[in-house]
Amino acid sequence: MHTLARYRIGTVIISCALICVLIAACTRQPSPVGPKFRGRLLLLAGETTNGADLFELSGAPTGSSYNYSIVTTGVFEAAASPDRTRLLYTTKDGILLRDLRTGGVKPLVKGENYCLAWAPDGNRFSYKQKSSAQEKAPGSTAGTPTKLYVSDLDGKAKLIWEDLFANSGTVSPPAQPSVLERAADPSGCSQWIAPDRFIFDRFLGALPKQKKGGEVLKPNTTTLVILSDPVKFVDTDRKWSIESVCQVGTAALVRPHDQNQPFLIAKSLDHLETLNPSPACSGCRFVGFAAHSCVPFFIEEITATNSELFSLNPFSWQRQRGTRLSQTFSVAATMLINSSARLMILGDVPASLLLIDTETGETVPFFAKSAQPPGLLFPRLVVWIEN
């Protein structure tokens, strides 16, 4: 009898314990894991005087750490093809093409080159090249001219335009300029809008009646280049500054020339003379289009320690619900948004890589402090190759 009683009491105790465990398991809040990175990330890091290091980071099999390696050194500028399978980059020796699938490298163009830009179909690219001192006009006080070229992927280049800078007193761009130093070149870089069309600013200084091929050139224009035979130029009043063009569509971010604000969204750049863009935002900073889409993202500083991340609907261009971020970012910060527009990688000075959930605002460091790769200073993001 006593044995049976003890058995029943023990059974009740065990049952109560199991119930408590089940209740605790059901009510326990799952610990947040934070945004996770997958794929491969290429970035430039280090000082730029002699060229930066090209790093590649990839997710480790465990998903909790990352593998990294230095792909090459002495890189001044890099641009990934629209399909993210190839990489153009400049060194002191010229432009090289790297196959991101096989690792093969092919030299394309010699010289001091910059302003790399891909055509949307990935079959051609444009670049600017600093002319040699011997090509400078005798007695000229202007800077050394620069030339704008278009090349195929075998390095067969065609001269499109040469900046004259005549009597303008404009300083030519330095050898291998950084992103910020490109401002020294008044004509800026090209923006492709179709496989056979791109836009750039033609700068002629103070001489409005210069001629080329019988054409009277306007002094300062935004110019559409049509790559026909011969090449055609369509000039407009220099009204717009083209900030960025979506690689998989026709949307573009523009602003009034020589103004930092406001940002505007143009549905098409085919007709600059009748361009009527929609307001995007004022007092904000454009951070990029989501990969494989035309969803534009912006950051707006709310306070000295907080900012807001938001996007625009790519059809109506209406502002979407913003996400509060508990920090601000420097003007040198670079950002990449994945194809789902849910995850952002941000690189900021001096050695910060962050993963940001664009919907919740949750932010986590890419690396633990103890796992930070050596030499990862001043990271400039190049391309995110998603799995």
Residue 91: CATH number of its domain: 2.130.10.10
Residue with tokens 């900021």: 348
Rounded to two decimals, the pTM is: 0.82
- Which pLDDT score is estimated for 49? 84
- Establish if 214 belongs to a structural domain: yes
Which residue range forms the structural domain that includes residue 212? 76-238
Residue among 240, 328, 347, 239 at smallest CA distance from 288:
347
- Which pLDDT score is estimated for 183? 40
- Which pLDDT score is estimated for 239? 78
How would you write the pLDDT of the chain (387 residues) with one tens digit per residue? 555 455 454 454 445 554 454 444 444 544 446 788 889 999 999 877 889 999 999 876 555 578 889 999 999 999 999 999 999 999 999 999 999 999 999 999 999 899 999 999 999 999 999 876 555 555 444 556 789 999 999 999 999 998 765 334 333 333 344 443 444 465 678 999 999 999 998 877 655 555 665 666 677 788 899 999 999 988 887 778 888 998 887 789 988 877 878 889 998 888 887 888 888 888 899 999 999 888 999 999 999 999 999 999 988 889 998 999 999 999 889 999 999 999 999 999 888 899 999 999 999 888 877 677 778 888 999 999 997
Between CA 334 and CA 266 the distance in angstroms is 23
- Establish if 92 belongs to a structural domain: yes
Between CA 357 and CA 362 the distance in angstroms is 5
- Establish if 370 belongs to a structural domain: no
- Establish if 103 belongs to a structural domain: yes
Compute the half-sphere exposure of residue 102: CA atoms within 13 Å on the CB side of its CA.
5
- Which pLDDT score is estimated for 45? 93
- Establish if 60 belongs to a structural domain: no
- Establish if 247 belongs to a structural domain: no
Residue among 197, 147, 195, 212 at smallest CA distance from 173:
147
Amino acid at 332: A
- Establish if 207 belongs to a structural domain: yes
- Which pLDDT score is estimated for 72? 96
- Establish if 49 belongs to a structural domain: no
Number of domains making up the chain:
1
19: its two tokens: 């119930």
Residue 275: alpha-carbon gap to chain centroid: 24
Nearest 10 degrees: Cα torsion 42, 47, 49, 50: -60
